[in-house]
Every structure is written in C-alpha cells, then in structure tokens.
Amino acid sequence: MTQRTKLFLLNHGPLLTTVAIFLLAYVIGGQLYPAMQKPQVFFNLFINNGSLLIVSIGMTFVILTGGIDLSVASVIALTTVASAVLLQNGLPPLVVMPLMLLMGIAFGAVLGGFIHFLKVQPFVVTLMGSFFARGMAYIISLTSVTIKDGFYNDLALTPIYIPFVPNAYVYSYALVGPVLFLVTIYLAFFTRFGRTVYAIGNNEQSARLMGLPVGRTKISVYAFSGFCSALAGIVWSIALLSGYGRYAPSMELDAIASVVMGGTMLTGGVGNPVGTLFGVLINGTIVSLLQFNGTLSSWWTRIGVGALTLVFIGIQSLFYVRRKTSG
Amino acid sequence: MTRQKLLARVRESRLFWPLTALAVILLFDALFAPGFFRIGIIDDPVYGPHLYGNLIDVLNNGAPLMLVSIGMTLVIATSGVDLSVGAVIAISAAMGAVLINPALGDRLITNDILTADTTNTPLPLIILADLAAGTLCGLWNGFLVSRARIQPMVATLILMVAGRGIAQLITNGQIMTIYYTPYFWFGNGFILGLPVSIYIVAGVALLAWVLVRKTALGLFIESTGVNARAAYYAGLDERNIKLLAYTFCGFTGAIAGLILSSYVHSSDANNIGANYELDAILAVVMGGTLMSGGRFSIVASIIGAMVIWAFTITMYTFGVPADALTAAKAVLVLLVILLYSEFSQRLLGRWSLRKGPSHDAAH
C-alpha cells in the first residue's frame, strides 16, 4: 500500500505540486485581498486567459513529442487580422471561422511537414512560421481593424451564468478552452494518436521500430497546434472585437512557460494537458494578484513567471531523478 | 581534376554559402536599386567627416547583431542555444541609461536636470556596469546549463521571460531617453570615416578568434558540442567550457546593448533588441554552424549577420514597412532551411559526385 502511494506520488508529483502551488497562491491571494474570494475572480481566469489556455493545450502536444512551436502567437495575430478583414468585406462569420481553422491546420501541417521530411529542427522551422505569420498579418493590414459583425458582438457580450454559483458568469468564448481541454484529455489518454505522441516523445527511434506512424503523428501534432492557435485567434478576436498584427506579443513564451509549469518536460514524453490547465491558471493568478495589489508594476508578472518556471524545472528534475533511481 | 578539387573545396568551405547569399543580395541591389552602392563623404558637425551610404548602414546597423552572433556561435557550438540575448541587451541598455541619468538618486527632478547633457557617473564606470550586467546574465545562464544541468533552451528561456521584466525594474518602467553626448559615440561615432561600432565588432571578433583558434579552447568547444560525455571522459571539464561560452555570449550581448542604446539615444526595455535572439540564431545557422553543435566558424556567422542586415536595408530601400519585413525574413529562413537540410545536402552531394570525373562503385 505504501509502495503504491509512493509510486503514485513519484509519477504524479510534478502535477500535484503544480495544483498545490495554484491552490496556495489562490488561497493566499484570497486572504490578502478579500475581494479575490468572490467566485467571479476564478471565472475571470478563464475569461482573461481563454486564448492562452487554448494555445498552451496545443503546445503541450508539440512539447510531448519533444518539439516546440514558436509560431502560435503570430498565428493568433494573423487570425485576428484575417478574420477582421474578411468580416469587414461582408463574409458571414460562419464561413470565416471554419476558414480560419482550416488556415491554422494547413499552416501547422506545412510546418510539421518541413520538420519531418527535411529533418530540420522544430525550433528553426516554427521560427520561420512565426516570422511569416506575423509579417502576413501586417501585409493584410498595418493598422488595427475593428469587427462590427453582429454575431461576434453577441458572442462577445452575452454572459452565460454559472449554475449554482450566484452572480458568476463567463462569456461564451471562455468556454472554448475548457471544452477543448476535455477533448484533449480524451485524445491524450484514450486514443492511439495520444499514445503515439507519448511514445515518440520518449524515444522516436523505438517508436519507429515499433511500427508506429511517427511521421503522420508528428505532422498532425503541429497541425493540431496550428488549429489551436487559429481557434485562440478567433477567441481573441471575439474578446477584443478587432484584429491587429501586434496582438499576442510573445505569447509563445507564456504558453511554453505554462506548459513547463504544468509539469511537462521539454525533452518530451512526460506530462499531460491537466498540468497545462493548472500552469495557465497559475499564470493567470499571478496577473490577478498583481492587479489586486495595485501598487506592484506589471513587470513583476514576467519576473514571477520566470522564477516559477525555474522552481518547476527544479521540482521536475528532482522527481525525475528519484523515479529513475527507484525504478 | 584540380579545378574540380578547387570547386569542391570552395563549396565545402564554411564561408561559401553565406558569401553566396550576400553576393546574391548585393547583385539584386545592383540590378534593381540604382544608387544602393553609392557611398559619399559627409562632414558631420559633431563627428567630423565620415562615409555614409547603404553599405555603411549595413555595417553600422548590423554591428550589434554581429556581436551577438559571435557569442551565439560559441554557445551553439557547444550544442546549446541562448534565447536570452535580446533580454540581456535590454538589461545592459537599461543599466547604462539609468546610470547616465543625471538626476540619479535625487528626489526632486526637474525637466532641465533630466535633459541636461551631463552625468554624475564617469563614462568608464557606466560602460563597466553595462558589461558587468550582461556578463552576469551570461554567467547565470551558464550556471543553469552547466551546473544545474537544465536544457539550454529552457535555462535561457527563464531569462528570456524574466529579463525584460528585470530591465523594466531597473528603469522603473520608464523609456529612458539619454541626453549625454559622449555616450552616443559608440553607436554614432566614426574613426577614420568608418563607424566606431565596426571597430568594436572587429575587436571582439579578434579576441574570440585568438581565444578559439590560437589556444586549444576552440577544439574543446567543438568536442563538447559533438559529444559532451566523450569530452568529459577525455579529461575535459566540459562544464567550465559551457560556462565560458554562455558568459561570453552574455558579454557580447552587453556590448550590443551598449551600442544599440547609444545608437537610438534611449533604452526601451520592451523593444530594444527585440527578436535579436532569433536573428542571431539565424545568422549562426546561415554561417553553417549546426544547431546540434560541433564545428563552427565565427567569421561565417558575422557574414551571416551581414546577410540579414543587407537584406533588411534592401527591403527598406524598396519601401517595405518594418512590420511586414518579417514575412520577407521568413522567406530568407525558408531558403536557409532548404539549403541546409539533409535532403538538399544529399542532393547536392549526389550532383557533384555525378559530375566528378572519378566516381566508381566504391562510392
């Protein structure tokens, strides 16, 4: 029994630590600033970090295969601009949204194809993708484009009240992240695709020798990340009702930091989307704490996220070494 | 036969591809941008007579990137990567701007004190503080990579995320404008008609070259990059070699920050040196150093940085907005990827074999 508990702790240690740190930060925040105890503050985390949650989930899969995707933030910017301009030209939203998602998938698949077929480092290829998407966003429009579409307006401004919690609401676009999260849980743990992702991350060579479809899976992982980025871009454009090439600056860093804080190892093969959810929540909690404090300046967010990333890497390697030695 | 060998040697040289790229860009300019190569002499009231023109701009504007790519070359040669150079540039620039501020420590600050062309800190001290701040950042990265054994990409990511926050902390969130004229010399001054910054690049490159080619250090770096464990078993302390590489990269980032802040007369923690880490990696990869480490060439990386800036200035000449430039840059990266990928290397190798006079079954 104790052996079992020990194994459980060793296997899920980083994730449990992430959850514990999130709860701790939240409870301490609640003690310091009583206004933070309101349930709405918790739901605001999802409203404010909707896009971040979505791209981080896509990034989790990429990192699980041992790769990295630096293009996510630029694809968000490109999606916001492209959809804003298309809507301005009178295309119906129900055409624009699938179009954007298709663009994201195609974009990711092309990057994945480069990585797989040309055997170039993911870092370099997705960097190119990042340059390309950001540049395209500016080529489409150098200035911010507002969205005046009725459907987008409705999505942006209609609150959905949470059952059983008085006076708490989210906007419809904040639900996209949690729904995607549930889908990816299924994807990661209960599908052949998810298991192949883990196998590739642990050892690509043995995955190939086992006869797993390495190439197909790798390309689909990047395509999925592209899909998530486009989805996050749509969410972003709904939330801000505009499109601009400067949106989501260095969000890829926030996404990577959230994934790492969630216990996923950048070498691949270890981690899961659940941790990522809590990584994003920690990121959001830090921002909320700064906002509630009011006197601390915004740059402490970045310093805090950097410091926490370091702490989590330390915790991870500790658990990793322990697990290796205990067999 | 000898001609064939010479061709093969030229093709295999590290400098071949970056020089070809530079030549292609300059050829393009020669054909489509008349006046691109025009170099004139201007008698500047502050800095005396000096050369000006697009080519001088390539050298002067490209100098910070060249510096950073020297440091990045060494880091990548140890099979690492330093994502934090942009943040290091911001920190170094912030350090300089704050120390120059003549009202440093004063409670009552008036506008004419703030914009006065004076400083209370001696210039050597400012430079020293700049360099020390950057070198310290490099040391931190090197410590995380070599002692704490964190993957280079993650270890430097920490400073990349936190660095600009630290820079803002130093300047208290302000965009600091610098009014102290002697400080401008590094980014705008001229010696014998050429920009000062290019002499700095030459100096640092020479220092690095002597260090890695006239001592065994270069060999140590390469062996660490090829196989760190084997290097360790061969009796090398690969940890200290990595530490040195990252520290040197921080040092070059600090000089780049000094030149950049001097060039634009200000320090904006959020934007100064933006994307430099990516450009530097691109320059190094273009210079033929593999991201997996091993053989490297400092000169090739510097030419790689020149290619990037020649390309940038060319695009500016054609009126491409700075923001949209990244799309064009993506095409540049794509070309690099295609040229350096295993696939095209194999194709090229096969092509030259087929053309070679003495190919037989043994190959």
Over residues B286-305, the pLDDT tens digits come to: 888 888 888 899 999 999 99
Taking the C-alpha atoms of residue B75 and residue B244, their distance in angstroms, rounded to an integer, is 9
pLDDT digits (tens, 9 = 90+) for B326-342: 888 888 888 877 877 77
Q: Is B333 on the interface with A (CB under 8 A)?
A: yes
Q: Which chain A residues touch B157 with a CB distance below 8 Å?
A: 253, 256-257, 309
Mean pLDDT score of chain B: 85
Report the 10 Å Cβ neighbour count for A122: 23
Question: CB-side exposure of A314: number of CA atoms within 13 Å?
Answer: 10
Q: Is A290 on the interface with B (CB under 8 A)?
A: no
Q: Match 């920050």 to its residue by tokens.
A: B257
Is there a contact between A129 and B330 if contact means CB atoms under 8 Å apart? yes
Taking the C-alpha atoms of residue A135 and residue A125, their distance in angstroms, rounded to an integer, is 15
Is there a contact between B327 and A245 if contact means CB atoms under 8 Å apart? no
Q: How distant is the Cα of A174 from the closest Cα of chain B, in angstroms?
A: 26
Per the DSSP assignment, residues forming a β-bridge with B191 are B194
A69, A78, A125, A132: best to mutate for the B interface, most B CBs within 10 A? A132
pLDDT digits (tens, 9 = 90+) for A147-167: 888 888 888 888 888 888 778
The per-residue pLDDT for B362 is 41
Taking the C-alpha atoms of residue B93 and residue B248, their distance in angstroms, rounded to an integer, is 17
- Tell me the one-letter amino acid at A227: F
Four-point Cα dihedral B154, B160, B162, B168, nearest 10: 180
Q: Is B278 on the interface with A (CB under 8 A)?
A: yes
**A129 to each of A55, A68, A111, A247, B359, how far by Cα in Å?**
15, 12, 7, 16, 40
Give yes or no for residue B352 having a pLDDT over 70: no
**Contact yes or no for A210/A78 (Cβ under 8 A):** no
CATH 1.10.3470 fits A13-28+39-325, yes or no: yes
Distant-in-sequence, close-in-space partners of A311: CB < 8 Å, separation ≥ 6: none
Q: Which chain A residues touch B158 with a CB distance below 8 Å?
A: 306-307, 309-310, 313
Give yes or no for residue B357 having a pLDDT over 70: no
Is there a contact between A299 and B165 if contact means CB atoms under 8 Å apart? yes
- Could you give the angle at which helices B54-77 and B276-286 cross, rounded to 10 degrees? 80
Q: Is A296 on the interface with B (CB under 8 A)?
A: no
Q: Match 């990333």 to its residue by tokens.
A: A309
Distant-in-sequence, close-in-space partners of B64: CB < 8 Å, separation ≥ 6: B89, B197, B255, B256, B257, B259, B260, B263, B273, B276
Distant-in-sequence, close-in-space partners of A170: CB < 8 Å, separation ≥ 6: A43, A46, A47, A159, A160, A162
Q: Which residue has the higher pLDDT, B87 or A7?
A: B87
Query: How many CB pairs below 8 A link A and B?
Result: 124
Q: How distant is the Cα of A172 from the closest Cα of chain B, in angstroms?
A: 31
B161, B175, B281, B284: best to mutate for the A interface, most A CBs within 10 A? B161
B329 closest CB neighbour out of A131, A299, A300: A131
Is there a contact between B173 and A297 if contact means CB atoms under 8 Å apart? yes
Taking the C-alpha atoms of residue A14 and residue B171, their distance in angstroms, rounded to an integer, is 36
Q: How distant is the Cα of B12 from the closest Cα of chain A, in angstroms?
A: 20
Taking the C-alpha atoms of residue A116 and residue A102, their distance in angstroms, rounded to an integer, is 21
Q: Is A123 on the interface with B (CB under 8 A)?
A: yes
The per-residue pLDDT for B107 is 59
By DSSP bridging, strand A242-243 and strand B39-44 are unpaired
Is there a contact between B327 and A132 if contact means CB atoms under 8 Å apart? yes
The interface residues of chain B toward chain A in range 308-327, judged by CB-CB distance below 8 A, are 321, 323-327
The per-residue pLDDT for B11 is 64
pTM for the model:
0.86
The per-residue pLDDT for A323 is 66
Of B78-92, B240-254, B265-279, the least confident: B265-279
Q: How distant is the Cα of A135 from the closest Cα of chain B, in angstroms?
A: 4
Q: Is B175 on the interface with A (CB under 8 A)?
A: no
Token pair of B253 as six digits: 């980032």
**Contact yes or no for B323/A245 (Cβ under 8 A):** yes
Report H helices in B151-297: 152-171, 181-188, 196-213, 217-226, 228-233, 238-264, 276-286
Taking the C-alpha atoms of residue B200 and residue B257, their distance in angstroms, rounded to an integer, is 13
Three-class secondary structure of residue A160 per DSSP: strand
Q: How distant is the Cα of B276 from the closest Cα of chain A, in angstroms?
A: 13
Token pair of B246 as six digits: 């990252």
**Contact yes or no for A168/A161 (Cβ under 8 A):** yes
Per the DSSP assignment, residues forming a β-bridge with B49 are B43
Range B98-115 average pLDDT: 70
Among residues A316, A324, A320, the alpha carbon closest in space to that of A14 is found at A316
Three-class secondary structure of residue A171 per DSSP: strand
The interface residues of chain A toward chain B in range 205-244, judged by CB-CB distance below 8 A, are none
Domain ranges within chain A, ordered by starting residue: 13-28+39-325
Helix, strand, coil shares of chain B, percent, nearest 5, are: 70, 5, 25
Token pair of B227 as six digits: 């196989």
The per-residue pLDDT for B110 is 67
Sign of the torsion angle spanned by Cα atoms B302, B305, B310, B311: positive
DSSP state string for B102-133: TTTT-SS--HHHHTSS--SS-HHHHHHHHHHH
Range B143-172 average pLDDT: 87
Is there a contact between A303 and B169 if contact means CB atoms under 8 Å apart? yes
Is there a contact between A307 and B162 if contact means CB atoms under 8 Å apart? yes
Q: Is A92 on the interface with B (CB under 8 A)?
A: no
- Could you give the angle at which helices A176-190 and A273-293 cross, rounded to 10 degrees? 150
**Contact yes or no for B15/B303 (Cβ under 8 A):** yes
ipTM of the complex: 0.81
Three-class secondary structure of residue B176 per DSSP: strand
**Longest pairwise C-alpha distance within chain B:** 84
Among residues A107, A322, A123, the alpha carbon closest in space to that of A223 is found at A107
Taking the C-alpha atoms of residue A64 and residue A68, their distance in angstroms, rounded to an integer, is 9
Q: Which chain B residues touch A127 with a CB distance below 8 Å?
A: 278, 281-282, 333
Taking the C-alpha atoms of residue B68 and residue B81, their distance in angstroms, rounded to an integer, is 12
- What confidence category does residue B106 fall into, taking pLDDT thresholds of 50, 70 and 90? low
The per-residue pLDDT for B247 is 95
The interface residues of chain B toward chain A in range 237-276, judged by CB-CB distance below 8 A, are 269
Q: For B345, which residue in chain A has the nearest alpha carbon?
A: A118
Report the 10 Å Cβ neighbour count for A1: 5
Is there a contact between A120 and B337 if contact means CB atoms under 8 Å apart? yes
Taking the C-alpha atoms of residue B2 and residue B204, their distance in angstroms, rounded to an integer, is 37
**A254 to each of A61, A70, B280, how far by Cα in Å?**
16, 11, 22
A128 closest CB neighbour out of B164, B334, B341: B334
The per-residue pLDDT for B261 is 92
Q: Which chain B residues touch A297 with a CB distance below 8 Å?
A: 168-169, 173
B323 closest CB neighbour out of A245, A297, A314: A245
Taking the C-alpha atoms of residue B299 and residue B285, their distance in angstroms, rounded to an integer, is 12
Residues of chain A with pLDDT under 50: 327
Q: Which chain A residues touch B331 with a CB distance below 8 Å?
A: 132
